[in-house]
Amino acid sequence: MSRALFTFAVAFVATAISATSASGALFLMFSGTQAKPGDSVFVQTGGRGALHNMSTSSVRVFFAPADEASAITSPKDTRLVYIGRLRIDDEGNGYLHFKVPEVAAGDYTTFLHCPRCASGSAGRELLPGGPVVGSFVVMNSGRRPWLLVLLAAGAAVAAIGTALAWMIRRTRVVEQ
């Protein structure tokens, strides 16, 4: 009987410790993890009251290429693309609606610039925000710049051809 009680106590303490650690984590949950530039996306902080100790009403949020994220340590890094401010309600929950910026297609992650979070995050002001699993995928916008170039080249060829035909016809009329 005491062995069962000991096992239960160990499981209870482990659960309490992991729950405490998880509640201190700051991460974002996305309405979707794939979008094209210009699409609207909604994010919110995970859990309840993730920012309850904040004395500020917003936190700046950035996109960054996922494959370069581990090298980004400063909010002034030029690889960061500002997407908006996470608004914090009275209960400490954060929300943001943003339009996906015009960035190259690929995998991205988010960073939160939170100077007031530094005391609880080993002095770091720039914190990874997620998505928690995988990355946010910016898809090809569907625009076809090569098609515009092709159309422009075709128009230029047509204009040159028309001008040459007009010049040849004019030269024949003058010769007669």
Which CATH number do you get for residue 32? Answer: 2.60.40
Verify that 108 and 133 share a domain, yes or no: yes
Instruction: Provide the pLDDT confidence category of residue 48 given band limits of 50, 70 and 90.
Output: confident
Verify that 152 and 117 share a domain, yes or no: no
Task: Name the least confident of 4-8, 60-64, 101-105, 111-115.
Answer: 4-8
Total domains present in the chain: 2
Residue 111 has pLDDT above 50, yes or no: yes
Verify that 129 and 167 share a domain, yes or no: no
**Amino acid letter, 23:** S
- Dist CA 35 CA 44 (whole Å): 17
Predicted TM-score of the model (pTM): 0.64
- Dist CA 89 CA 85 (whole Å): 13
